[in-house]
Homo-oligomer: A and B are copies of this chain.
Amino acid sequence: MPYDLEAPVTRNTDLGHGNFLIEFEAPEIVGCMKPAQFFMIGVPGSKLLLRRPFSVCGLPGTFDDGRPGSAQVLYKVVGEGTALLASLRAGARLEVLGPLGRGFEAPEPGRRALFLAGGIGVAPFPAFAAALRREGREVGLLYGARTAGDLPLLEWFERVCAPVEVATEDGSRGRRGLVTALLEELLRKEDPSAFHVYACGPQPMLKAVAQWARRHDVRCDLSLEARMACGFGVCLGCVVPTRGSGPEGDVGFERVCVEGPVMRAERLAW
């Protein structure tokens, strides 16, 4: 059950290259939130009318220095709303609605979790990685970005996950190329059916992953993004085309905020 709270910012750390990790106190929300669920976050008095959606990145237990009753959000400055967030100091107040949407489900027993992250798409994975590791599950991360600076929290993942493989488009860190190449390579060596793939990143990457998963029949969940007005299912603004959801069982539209943000790759009619 979601709550709409005023949440005080406890810190807002500049991770460089326009990436920030903001922490705020919201015990009621945090108490019932699952990895890859999201918040709608607004800044009171700001000129933006609509709140902005952000995945939960850290929950209590995710980061060693996380405060009790607090959540962390990893974000990148891409426009007015994220620039405004970046200007906030500890003590500022946020309007936070959450938890919203459907989060990640743990892999079936015996399967290994494999995360595919594209740049800031890494945001929902820390809380999930920490939770799975606590249960003794194996978690791998394939992490792609344009350039080395766009790999926030990489060191954290290197401590928590294995394997952690990196690809950058400019070759400034890890392999030169796309993250999907890492995926193909890994699963050439290992049995795809031993994995449950979770992917989050820019749409072209997700489309490629979804196609690949369909082709190889790998269980694959995507954490999607869309422009949102409400975040809780009533504006119908955030839809993606999905198979079987249309008026006659054909392709229809489903809401990323309620039926997602996590959706099974094969459902998407991209």
Contacts and interface: CB of A to CB of B under 8 A. Distances in A.
A47 B83 CA distance: 15
Interface of A: 45-48, 80, 83-84, 87, 89, 91
A124 to B, nearest CB: 27
A68 to B, nearest CB: 26
A83 B91 CA distance: 17
Residue among A47, A83, A87, A89 facing the most chain B CB atoms (10 A cut-off): A47
Contact of A45 (B46, B89, B91): B46
A80 to B, nearest CB: 8
Given A45-B47, A47-B47, A89-B89, 4 more contacts: A45-B46, A45-B83, A45-B84, A47-B48
Nearest to A48: B47
Contacts of A46: 45-47
Contacts of A80: 45
Nearest 4 pairs of A and B residues by beta carbon: A47-B47, A45-B84, A46-B47, A45-B46
A86 to B, nearest CB: 11
Nearest to A93: B87
A41 to B, nearest CB: 15
A82 to B, nearest CB: 12
Residue among A45, A84, A87 facing the most chain B CB atoms (10 A cut-off): A45
A81 to B, nearest CB: 10
Nearest to A49: B47
Contact of A87 (B45, B47, B48, B87): B45
